[in-house]
Structure 1
């Protein structure tokens, strides 16, 4: 896929149900977990690739990465102790296409993935998906009161450009709160 071209409608539609390779290794500091790949990401072969997705800018603005990475550079996350996976592996046009049963099955698969790779933190990007996948209907953003083995769990806002409730600045601050927790620091002084 050439980096300077946009997919056609037909190419996007043909990307439905594709999966993306995991960006994961044993012992990561944080394993970021999207809901599922969008069609643009599936077409490109890279996580959070759709223009307007705010994952990569938030990751940088929060201090997790020394510069803003392009989605095609996703493998560089591993050298920073970071990784990317999804609750549901198959691509769809919107997360609304996923059934509760599919999200719950994804939660079970994710538990196994976390048990295998044992990241220090699992950061799920989307509170509604987290609530369904992990049967935690009252979950809110931030650190959760459950662990997956020794892995601590944090819920972040969905970085999709469609999530208008979180401005880029608020999203970056939510990511920075997680970074401070990962580094063992509380809130930055005012």
Structure 2
């Protein structure tokens, strides 16, 4: 499987946007499926979900008015394998998705992915000035276990900042 289906619909509070599917996610068809990924624990610890969901339960996010997509649809072992052109094209595709479903917030998981997809060289984690239609944009840290800058408690606090305003 080269990519995995989005978990999105209309009426959502937040659509979380990963960089691209990892190989484990592509193999299972579930977002953030690698065991070391901290997306699901951070989502729960921040208050977005009442319990820790497993990747196989991703459709349950819709009941909490949450969704998931990716900047780039192509699966890879590492985000570093993606080209700048893929990020730019992914950003354009992401804008179309957001305009179609109109969530309150788009939360891009990874500041470098956001910078590359939208040409925002100085973007930092947090609320962005950019709007996509009526959708506000927030950048969260990448929840990959490879992102050593953010421990799970720091990651959960970054998610909680968005949860409080959304």
Query: Shared fold (TM-score greater than 0.5)?
Result: yes
Aligned pairs, number: 166
| TM-score, normalised via structure 2 length | 0.99
Say which structure, 1 or 2, has more relative contact order (CA 8 Å, 6+ apart).
Answer: 2
Offset of 1:27 from its aligned partner? 1.9
RMSD between aligned residues: 0.6
- Runs of 4+ aligned residues of structure 1 deviating over 2 Å after TM superposition are none
Structure 2 unaligned blocks of 5 or more: none
Q: Deviations over 1:90-116 (max 9, x none)?
A: 100000000111000000000000000
- State the structure with more CA Rg: 1
1:40 aligns with 2:38: no
Normalising by the residue count of structure 1, what TM-score does the alignment of the two structures yield? 0.87
Deviation at 1:131, TM superposition (A): 0.3
User: Gapped runs of 5+ residues in structure 1?
Assistant: 1-14, 183-190
Kindly provide the CA deviation profile for residues 12-43 of structure 1, in whole angstroms up to 9, marking residues without a partner as x: xxx5xx11011000121000000000001101
Matched, 1:117 2:70: no
Residue equivalent to 2:158? 174
- Counterpart of 2:56 in 1: which secondary structure? helix
The correspondence of residues 1-190 of structure 1 with structure 2, limited to 5 A, is 18-182=2-166
- How many angstroms apart in 2 are the aligned matches of 1:125 and 1:30? 12
